[in-house]
Structure 1
């Protein structure tokens, strides 16, 4: 049994991970330098995602109707809304970017409220130190969310920085993985 672990074959060099890692690092650095273009690209990607989701929902509606004989009108409404939003985001980038920024700010706020609502649950399992940490973190998160709602440019910059940071960190992990 021990011989199986000691006779392990060396892992071949991962060129794909290296190339992907370098590409992600370069994209992360570029997005740090051009936050306006990054937000613009994000808006286009969300628009394409909404269009594809709307088409998929229409396809699902037909499948549900054929398979179950059930007329899923709510899927039709969701599909139409997704397709309209996708088209609006695709052709009106400034509006789409603004909506995405506010969605990000509201997401942050709702997540903070959810954290506050679970503090009592966590206090039962983790003790007072964790509870104090959660209270402080949740209050800080709510304050940041409110600031983001009233300062949409700050929210946009934070969103781009998060994306850039994620790209760079993932790129570094891929480069390390290649060895």
Structure 2
């Protein structure tokens, strides 16, 4: 007789995830900065984006190993996303002027790819926690919509970039803070 073991997200989680919590707080701080002074220079946004992309990439590479040990298989897409985020962050930090002109396209690509990957893999969460699953679906759909809007309207996106960035950073920060618990 084969025994079916149902996994429970709370029973498979270890302790409080400080790294995810700190990453979430940093994203929330970046969101507040974007909301307080929406006319701030794109240069500051490029620097913040570059640093956050580096941190996010490092986190994804680390989380890849954690997921691999938990599931027993390698989620290569998570490792690839981490490396892509590290490369984007490093490029922006080294080429601030180019980054200012390409920022709407970087954000559009980041939103679209990150949200699409989230939607493609969200099924893994359904067996763990239904609320977390639906929050992830909602946040990924919102990120996908924002990414498509940024991609097809770069001039409009450039004018409203601080607010859009603030919204995304706030959502992503809340997501990581929620993930920490």
Q: Do the two structures share a fold, i.e. TM-score over 0.5?
A: no
Structure possessing the higher radius of gyration over alpha carbons: 1
Using structure 1 for the length normalisation, give the TM-score.
0.42
Q: Which has the higher helix share?
A: 1
Using structure 2 for the length normalisation, give the TM-score.
0.41
